[in-house]
Structure 1
Amino acid sequence: MTEWVMLTDFALAGALLLAGKILRIYCPPLQRLYLPAAVLAGIIGLFLGPSGLNILPWSQGFATNASLLTAALFAALGLTTDLPSPRLLAQRAGSLWAFNQVATVSQWLFAALMGLIMATFIWPELNPGFGLVLSAGFMGGHGTSVVVGNIFGQLGWADAMTLGLTFATAGVFISISLGMVILQAAVKFGLVKDFTCFDKMDSYQQKGLIAPSEQQPVMRETLSALSVDSFAIHLAIVAGVTAFAYHSANYLSSFMGQMQIPNFVTAFIGGMLVRAIAKRTGGKRYLCDKVFSHAGATTTDFLIVFGISAIKITVLTQYLLPMILLLTGGILFTLFLVLWVAPRMLGEDWFEKGIFSWGWLTGTVAMGIALLRVIDPKMKGTVLDDYAIAYVPGSITDVFIISMMPIAMVKGYQAEAFLVGFGYLALVLALWYWLLRRKNQPGIKLQQA
């Protein structure tokens, strides 16, 4: 791929992203759906791309841009990741960490088991790892779908990429639509006192804009422009870690035979190592976490555009019935996690954390924040702070599952994978029960208003 071809691809993705944002601003029905501009852009790209009218001049390999962006995303995540102390984790977000682990691992195990049953007893032509495309798309989103799709592609199942991206896109719609139904039911049962419906939001919130009086700086200047621009150094670090991820993953994979080390793993580890070195040497004082966070968010937006645009409609028609069955099971199981497990693990303020968890378990963290803002518009609560603390150690589990579960399902190690997964769930639940849960567990309060 020449530099001009890549430039054209990214220019098209940028134009679609801008078009999606303009639609989001000036089309009220789309505002009511809370759809991100990147999703709208991807849908336009799908309609005008190879699977639709085929009028956009995408390059032949434009879909591979998503893989590059995924590595950059995890590099940025690693550059903002500090492992919290066990004391802080236990005191501040212990129960939320335990619930996140239970929800994450159990959703992967449920999807894997359901897909394996379907492949064994109903559709023998299905790949034994079919179910994993659901959890990759739901809780993982488009980035994880690309990772899992690449792993399955290396194992001989190229259709997994399209299926995972489709579940990720459907998850965004499901997250908001069913999330609003859950919120309305919560008002009825007295779980929520303040409910900010769409009509009560100001025009800026409805359009996905920030009022000029409330806008904040994106970054702080850490370096003198006389020597180098601060943003240039941050961009150089992200690019360097991303390059390291590709070369190190290829090098390590050369020793593993048929097993490939995903570059997102080395990107995340590489980012954490650079951050640790910067803290040890004092360089961390001249780095701005907001820049790395925005770098991750930017790559995610472009990744979504490329990912949705690359969905192959002809592939979806071949898997339509299994996908519908898997999607239905995934929705019901996630509802069970949020409405039955969450109240029993998270205590009295379970609903705020539960509705946020519904967002990221089906769509993205951004969807969870959008739902949380409906009941906490000024974000006075501590849900996001607690989630950030709980996420860091939990992300290690995510990396392990994403990189190893597809290989285990395809290579015939299903029993071992389920044994390890259920064993880990038992360990987390035991740890939560004996060390992390609140002394006075309040139980469930569903008093009708």
Structure 2
Amino acid sequence: MDFSWKPVIDAGAISIALVVATFLRARLQFFQKYLIPNALTAGFLLLPVYNYLFPFLGYDQNKLGELVYHLLNISFISMSLRASSPKIKGHKGGGVLGMSTGILLGYATQALLGLALTLFFLPKMFPAFGLFLPLGFALGPGQAFAIGKGWETMGFSGASSIGLTFAAIGYLWASFGGVYLINHGLKKGWLKSELLSSMQNRTMLTGIVAREEEKPVGARLTTDNEAIDSFSFHSAAVLLTYFLSFLLLSAITMGLSLLGKAGRDLAVNLWGINFIFSSITAIIMRKIIEAIRVDHLLDNETLSRISGFSVDFMVAGSIAAISLVFVTTFWFPILLMSTLCGIMTTIIVPWFCSRMFRDYQFERMLMIYGVSTGTLSTGLALLRVIDPEFKTKVASDYMLSAGLTFLLAIPFILAINLPAQAAVQGTMVPFWIMMGIAFLYLVYVLVTYGILAGRKTLAQPASWWFTE
């Protein structure tokens, strides 16, 4: 019978690459030294396979990006369905607000840098090109692909592949730049050497739990397996929410279609940022679940496992989905922009964090640096180097700040299509509006930073790291 095996082939290829990458991390010191995520290694292993081997065999890679798109939305839903972190005693001193401010610092500075550099390549370059810096570095591969896919309908050929390329480069900065900051900080006395004891932890370095070690518990059962497997129930809850988000966006699309061509164009753009609507739907679902008092059926750890699965397969698949044909066409601006962005982020994150926070400055800096160049997983990986058991408030502060960051970032993400509209409308007005919005975000960040840093706001301005 004529069944489609494409989803199975894609899932199988990614799975093989993830398994191989896991063994490479366990055996080779290079991957351990720089804490290279297995999903990143898997993606680069698949890159030549999907660009050269599969096309030679007559296999099309175009649909791989659709897998990335759906996994992105599922990851946002599974995290948004989690119960809010309880308020922890001792969370004072602006830690939560500071973490949110640090993340938004990456959005604002990377957007301004990218848009400014784009001006040098106009009119040969698509006006929105530079926004792949915050999309790829601070937001991640899923968002870069989804929004890039929308830009392709607006005349930017290969935008999704270029967005994924920036995200892959961001991951490299997270790994190599993060390890450099740790070693440099140790050399300069920014952190104490005893904090690096976890670098001798074989489990963290190799990425696998040894045979003789006790296996940590990653999920709890909330249903009786005779009735329904607990993981099946949680997966159903996530996919049900995803279906509801699809219905929500479909209804919005129908309403916008009544407004004519402008409404239909806006609807197309909204599908590119479906992860926002998925998150909003999940937040509403969580409130309903709590209101009818069945929230005990959802286990945070199980939802985290679903999110982790989605992110690992999404990252590997996103890199494999890169079309090297488009990347080689724009190799110079990609290399220039990503290099300058990586250097800028590596400089400003330590500068701001060492002055903005009152406690755990280095730990908070590593977390923010990892998230500003990769994703939550890379931020946590860097934090684990000096806080392997998350005994500090940094990880919990970040989780508490996630909701605030999400709300504050919505206007930024909704406006991110404005430079693309400049190409469609033939006027640079939307481009300058986006630059103005990015500048306003920077103003907000600087004001908040000044409030949190106090007397340290401009202290030792020429010093990369503030020391008392």
TM (normalized to structure 2)? 0.85
Contact 1:74 1:268 in 2 (8 A): yes
Rate the CA distance shift 1:106–1:33 in 2: closer, same or farther, 3 A. closer
Q: 1:70 to 1:49 in 2, by over 3 A?
A: same
CA distance in 1, matches of 2:373, 2:102: 11
In the TM superposition, what whole-angstrom CA distance separates every residue of 1:293-317 from its partner, at most 9, and x where no partner exists? 1111101111112111111111111
Asked if the contact 1:234/1:287 (under 8 Å) is kept, the reply is yes
Tell me the residue number matched to 1:245: 245
Query: Contact 1:81–1:392 at 8 Å: present in 2 too?
Result: no
1:143-182 equivalences under 5 Å are 143-182=142-181
- Superposed CA RMSD: 3.1
- State how far apart, in whole Å, the 2-side matches of 1:94 and 1:154 are: 46
Contact 1:111 1:326 in 2 (8 A): no
Contact 1:115/1:132 (8 A) holds in 2: yes
Instruction: Say yes or no: does 1:268 pair with 2:268.
Output: no
Tell me which of 288, 300, 308 is aligned to 2:299: 288
Distance 1:113 1:90, change over 3 A: farther
Could you list the runs of 5+ residues in structure 1 that have no partner in the other structure? Answer: none
Deviations 1:138-194 (A, max 9, x none): 111212222222232233324221112111111222112122222222112221113
Separation of aligned partners in 2, 1:363 and 1:295: 19
Letter in 2 for 1:122: F
Paired residue secondary structure (1:243): helix
Secondary structure at 2:415 match in 1 = helix
Distance 1:135 1:124 in 2: 21
Alignment of 1:147-226 (within 5 A): 147-194=146-193, 201-211=200-210, 213-226=213-226
Q: SS at the partner of 2:5?
A: helix
Q: Which residue of 2 aligns with 1:416?
A: 433
CA positional deviation for 1:118 = 3.5
The residue type equivalent to 2:11 in the other structure is F
Q: 2:394 aligns with which of 383, 389, 392?
A: 383
Which of residues 443, 446, 451 in structure 2 aligns to 1:426?
Answer: 443
Using the TM superposition, name which of 291-300 and 220-229 deviates more. Answer: 220-229
Q: Once the 2 structures are TM-superposed, how far is the Cα of residue 266 of structure 1 from its aligned partner?
A: 1.5
Q: 1:124 to 1:130 in 2, by over 3 A?
A: same
> What is the CA–CA distance in structure 1 between the aligned matches of 2:44 and 2:134, rounded to whole Å?
21
Residues 339 and 432 (structure 1), Cα distance of their counterparts in 2 relative to 1, 3 Å cut: closer
Letter in 2 for 1:64: E
**392, 403, 409: which one aligns with 2:403:** 392
SS at match of 2:14: helix
* Closer, same or farther: CA 124–91 of 1 in aligned 2, 3 Å: farther
Distance 1:363 1:183 in 2: 17
Which string of whole-angstrom CA distances, capped at 9 and with x for unpartnered residues, describes residues 31-83 of structure 1?
A: 22311111111111112122467467565522221111112111112212639
The 10-residue stretch of structure 1 (420-429 or 203-212) with the greater mean CA deviation from structure 2:
420-429
1:343 aligns with 2:354: yes
> 2:224 corresponds to which letter in structure 1?
S
CA distance in 2 between counterparts of 1:199 and 1:432 reads 31
Of residues 149-158 and 103-112 in structure 1, the stretch that sits farther from structure 2 once superposed is 103-112
- My pick for the range that moved more, 53-62 or 215-224, is 53-62
Report the number of matched residues.
Answer: 444
Structure 1 residue 8 displacement after superposition: 2.4
Distance 2:197 2:329 in 1: 38
- Does 2:34 correspond to 1:17? no
Q: 2:110 & 2:61 partners in 1: Cα distance?
A: 34
CA contact (8 A) 1:146 1:161 kept: yes
- The 1-side partners of 2:382 and 2:91 are apart by 22
Whether contact under 8 Å (2:133, 2:338) holds in the other structure is: yes
* In structure 1, C-alpha distance between the alignment counterparts of 2:32 and 2:453, rounded to whole Å: 39
Please list the CA deviations of residues 106-148 of structure 1 after superposition, one character each: whole Å capped at 9, or x if unmatched.
4334333333334333342111111111111111121222222
Provide closer, same or farther for how the CA distance between residues 390 and 443 of structure 1 changes in structure 2, counting only shifts above 3 A: farther
Unaligned runs of 5+ in 2: 257-262, 423-428
Q: Return 181-190 or 100-109, whichever deviates more.
A: 100-109
Query: How many Å apart are 1:349 and its aligned residue?
Result: 2.8
CA contact (8 A) 2:78 2:306 kept: yes
CA deviation map 1:227-279 (0-9, x unaligned): 22221111101111122223322331331331132321221111111111111
Moved more, 423-432 or 145-154: 423-432
SS at match of 1:257: helix
Residue type at the aligned position of 1:231: F
